Structure 1
Amino acid sequence: MAGRVLSVLDAFAGERRRLTLTDISRRTGMPLATTHRLVGELLSWGALERHRNGRYEIGLHLWAVAAMAPRWLELRDVAMPFLLGLYRKTGRQQVRLAVLDGMETVLVERIGAPDTGGAGEPVGGRRPAHTTGDGLVLLAYAGSTVRERYLVHHAPATGLRHVLAEVEGAGFAVNGRWPGPGGTVSAAAPVRDATGEVVAAVSVVPGTSEAGQCALAPVVMATGRTISRALSRRQNGA
C-alpha cells in the first residue's frame, strides 16, 4: 500500500507539475480505479491539491513536511544569507544551491527570476547532473564510484570524464561549452561540510558568454568557501 502511495507522489517528479488522473495512472502503471482511490486519500491528507483547471498538484501540507528534512533545512538555513549576498554582488543574476541525489541534481534554493536558458525549474526540481554547472561540480567531487556509475549510464556524453577532471582540478565549473541537451549555462563551485566532503554546489546562471561566466567564477568560489565555513561552524556547534 505504502509503495503505491509513494508511486503516485513520484509521478510528480517530472517536468510537468500538474497532472490529470490519466497522467498519474499512466506514469505509475496502476489501473485508473486504483489511482483514483489513492489520489482521493492523498487529497484528504493534503499531500495533493486540485488546481482550478482540474489537474492535480503537490499539496502545501506535503511541501511543508518535506521542507523540514533536517539535512537540507540546515544547509539552506546556513547558506541563505550568502546566496542573497551573491545575488547582489552579481547584479541580481539567478543564484542556485543544489545537491546530488543519485544521478540527478536537486534544487534546494533559487534566488532570482528564471533566465531564458531553461534554468527556471522550481525548488525541488531535478535535472541530469551533467546538464548544469552545479551538477558538474557535484559529480567531479562525488568520488570515483559515483562518477564511474554516472559515466556508464550516460555513455553518449562524450568528453564528460575529461570535463569532470578539469572541474576537480580547477575547483569550479563553467559549463558554457558543456551544457548538454536542455542544460543551463552557469558558473558553479563546491560547498563542503565539517568533514570536508562536498555536499552541495552554489552557482550563478548569468545568461552571458563563457568569458562572462569565468569572470564570475572567483566570487562564486568565494561564496562556496564562505558557506562551507559557516556550515562547519554550525555542525561543530560553534
Structure 2
Amino acid sequence: MSGNATTPGATVTSKALALLGAFDAGHRRLTLTEMARRAVVPVPTAHRLIGELLEWGAVWREPNGQYVIGQRLWDLGLLAPVHTGLRELASPFLHDIYGATLATVHLAVRDGVEVLYLDRLSGHASVPVVSQIGSRLPLHATGVGKVLLAHAPDAVQRQAFTMLTRVTPYTVVHAGVLGEQLRRVRRDGYAATQEEMTLGACSVAVPVFSEDDDVVAALGMVVPSLRRDKQRLVTALQVAARGVTRTLAARDRASQV
C-alpha cells in the first residue's frame, strides 16, 4: 500500500494531521519522503509542515534522518480521560506494590497488538528494564502483554499470532506453545515470563477487571528471578488489581448519580 486509506483535505491542518497519521504500529520510523507518500501530501509541503511539527514537538528527528512521534503528543495523550483516570486511580495501588516489593511495577493497557505502558515505578534491584512510560512492546513477550493478549478478542489474538518475533533466545514464538500459555493465564489468573523481553529480567502480571468482568488493564512487575517469590508477588499484584477494580467501580457509580 503506497499511502494511507484516506486522502487529506485541502486545509493545512488536514495535511499536518495526515502526516502524523502516516505513523502506525508497522511504521514507527519514517523518512520525510515516506511520510509524504503515506499521507498523500506533496514532498515540498510535507517538508514545510514537518518542520513546524518538529519545532512544536509532535515529531522527533533521529540522527539517521528518520522521524518518530514526539514526546509532546504522548503528553497530550495522557490527558485523555480514559488514560488519565486509570493512571490516577491505579497510582496508590502501584505505590503499595512498590513499597512491599521494591520491584519495578507497571500499569499497562492493550493498544492494538501491542502493550502501552501508562505508568511505571522503577525498582531498586539492578534488573534490566526496557519499558518506559508511553512505550509500546510486543504482547507475546511481556508479562502484562500475555495477560492482555489472553483476554483479547479472537481477531486480535489471530493478528498477534502472525507477529511472533523473537526478542531474546527465550521468547516464545511457537503459536501452539503461546496458545497453551494464554489458556493457563485465563485459568490461573496471572502470567509469568522468563527473560523473554530482556535477558536477566523476569516478569509476572495480573489482569485488572472492570465491574462487568472485562479486562481493562494489567498490573505487572519485573524482577531478577521468580524461583522463590512468584506466589508472593502474584498475591500482591492481585490484591492491588482488586483495589483498582473496586475504585473504578466506585468512580463509575458516582458518575451515574
Shorter-chain TM-score category? 0.7 to 0.9
Taking the aligned partners of 2:215 and 2:120, their CA distance within structure 1 comes to 19
Taking the aligned partners of 1:235 and 1:184, their CA distance within structure 2 comes to 36
Q: String of CA shifts for 1:52-106, please: whole Å, max 9, x gaps.
A: xx9977556434321111111111010001101110011x110000001111000
Taking the aligned partners of 2:61 and 2:161, their CA distance within structure 1 comes to 39
- Asked if the contact 1:115–1:205 (Cα under 8 Å) also holds between the matched residues in 2, the reply is no
Alignment RMSD (CA, Å) = 3.5
What residue identity is the alignment partner of 1:88?
A: G
SS in 1 for 2:194: coil
- Please say if 1:169 is aligned against 2:184: no
Unaligned residue ranges in structure 2 (runs of 5+): 1-14, 165-172
- Asked if the contact 1:106–1:127 (Cα under 8 Å) also holds between the matched residues in 2, the reply is yes
- Asked if the contact 1:194–1:236 (Cα under 8 Å) also holds between the matched residues in 2, the reply is no
Which of 125, 138, 142 is residue 135 of structure 2 equivalent to?
Answer: 125
Q: For this pair of structures, how many residues does the alignment match?
A: 228
Unaligned residue ranges in structure 1 (runs of 5+): none
- Please say if 1:189 is aligned against 2:206: yes
Percentage of matched positions with identical amino acids: 32
Which of 62, 84, 88 is residue 73 of structure 2 equivalent to?
Answer: 62
Alignment of structure 1 residues 11-160 onto 2, 5 Å: 14=28, 24-25=31-32, 28=35, 30=37, 33-48=44-59, 61-90=72-101, 92-113=102-123, 118-154=128-164, 156-160=174-178
Taking the aligned partners of 1:130 and 1:122, their CA distance within structure 2 comes to 18
- Asked if the contact 1:194–1:233 (Cα under 8 Å) also holds between the matched residues in 2, the reply is no
What residue identity is the alignment partner of 1:104?
A: E
SS in 2 for 1:237: helix
Taking the aligned partners of 1:32 and 1:114, their CA distance within structure 2 comes to 48
What is the TM-score of this pair, normalised by structure 1?
0.79
Q: String of CA shifts for 1:125-152, please: whole Å, max 9, x gaps.
A: 1111011000111111224343233234
1:37 positional shift: 1.7
Counterparts in 2 of 1:50 and 1:173: CA distance versus 1, 3 Å? closer
Computing the radius of gyration over CA atoms, which structure comes out larger, 1 or 2?
A: 2
Taking the aligned partners of 1:123 and 1:225, their CA distance within structure 2 comes to 23
